[in-house]
Structures are given as structure tokens and as C-alpha cells.
Amino acid sequence: MAIPSSSNTATISSVSALPTYMHEVYEWAYLNPRNVGILDNEIVVSTILWGNYKRLKQVVLDEIKPNMSVLQVAHVYGSLIPEMARCLNEDGKFELIDISPLQITVADKKLGNLPNVTTRIADATNLNDEHHDLVNCFFLLHEIPDDYKRRVVDTLLSKIKPDGTLIIVDYHKPHRLNPVKPIMRFIFHWFEPFAKELWEHDIQDYATNPDQYSWHKETIFGGLYQKLIVKRKPET
């Protein structure tokens, strides 16, 4: 059920329908309009990511080919969303989902009248039957509880075409001597209570059937971030 961004209709009728953890942990970051206006800024995002936002964006953009069907899972602050959509030509398709009506509204403003773009309010654990050449999950997993991580990873894997790709960019356990490690430990404790799990588990551990896929991981910035490219293994 893809709804054009110019006429988006909420499938989650109100903020009260959102998961409890969204209200308890991320009300300030994703549901408060004033704070969203402050945080959705290239400089702010780059600062939060220790100056690595441009580099992390590029690892996603490098995976996009002009005629792809691309699913973006959750709105991302900064310029990544419109940059992804602009990578596509008239044969490509860009779809963005987010569980928050406010985040969809913000995404719609960024995407404007770009062609072949749809947005819709949806839970990443319960998507439609459409499959995509590329599914992008950018700094989402660290923000959701462990049981949600498992459901989201399985759902996203199920949405890539047989020759498609899932790309996940998120936090990773930094190297032992990385100087930002103690700072990130403090930030996770107070602001990102579900993020530390990505220091303790490989993302493929959250998949029900990881052996059906190939997992290629690269780490960035002293191991603090990871880029994970996932593809289906050929059937034998």
C-alpha cells in the first residue's frame, strides 16, 4: 500500500498508537516537533556521528543504481533521503516508511515533487508483499529493543529480491583503544539504551536463518560504525 508523498495518509492514526518505547525513550528526538526541527540538520547529525555523516551516507549512495526499486526503512535526519531519491531515474522507484506520522511529514517536505517517490506510515516489522532491489536500514537497529531487532531483521531480509541487497549501517563495538569509546558508553547509557546490544552481538545473530544469506561487514571510524551488505545465497 504505497501512498504518494503528495497525498500521504496515516495508517497509524495517532502518536498514541506508537510502541511504548518510542514514548519512553525517543519522545524528545522523534515525536516533539520543536526538537525535530533542531535535530534534522546536517551539522547536528554530523556532530552526533563524530564528523562521519558524509562518509556513512556515501556507503549507501554507492549501492544505488539508477533503475533500482529502493526501500528506505525509517526517515533519516539530514540530506540522505533526498540524495537517495535523486540517484534514481524514471525507471527507478523510491519508497520510504516510518512508524511516526511526524517523521513522514518531515520526509515529505524534503522529497517535494521528486518523481517515483512514495512514503507511507508503517511498522518495519510488518510490511507489504513488495520486494526490492535494495533495502536500506540506516541507524535504526540501535534504537529498537532486542525483540524488535529480530523481527525487523527478518522482515527486511524477506523484502529483498532474489538478487537484491540489504544494506545496514549502524553502530558497532569500537576498537579497544578508540578514544570515543567511553564517551559513547555514557551516551548509550543515558540516551540510547538499546544501542549497546550492537556492541555485544553481530547483526546476523538477529536473523532466524542467517545461513541463507551472505554477510559482508566493514567497520568505520575505529570500529564504532559498521556497514553490512547482505545478499541471498543462490539456491542449490
The pLDDT of residue 7: 36
Contact 88, 68 (CB under 8 A): yes
Q: What is the pLDDT of residue 9?
A: 38
Query: What confidence tens digit (pLDDT) does each residue in 134-149 have?
Result: 999 999 999 999 999 9
Asked if 136 and 107 touch (Cβ cutoff 8 Å), the reply is no
* 217: Cβ contacts below 8 Å, ≥ 6 apart: 202, 226, 227, 228, 229
Q: Which pLDDT value is given to residue 14?
A: 47
Domains located in the chain, CATH noted? 42-232 (3.40.50.150)
- 93-121 pLDDT, tens digit per residue, is 999 999 999 999 999 999 998 999 999 99
* pLDDT value of position 128: 92
Give tens-digit pLDDT for 18-36: 999 999 999 999 999 999 9
What is the β-pairing status of strands 225-232 and 213-220? antiparallel
Tens digits of residue pLDDT in 168-223: 999 999 999 999 999 999 999 999 999 999 999 999 999 999 999 999 999 999 99
Residue 194 Ramachandran class (φ > 0 left, ψ -120 to 50 alpha, else beta)? alpha
73/124 Cα distance (integer angstroms): 7
**pLDDT confidence of residue 3:** 34
User: Is 15's pLDDT higher than 80?
Assistant: no
CA torsion sign, 54 to 202 to 25 to 135? Answer: positive
| pLDDT for the residue numbered 22 | 95
Q: What is the pTM of this model?
A: 0.92
Which cell numbers hold the place of 211? 545461513
Instruction: Give me the pLDDT at residue 235, please.
Output: 79
Q: What is the mean pLDDT of the chain?
A: 93
pLDDT value for 27: 96
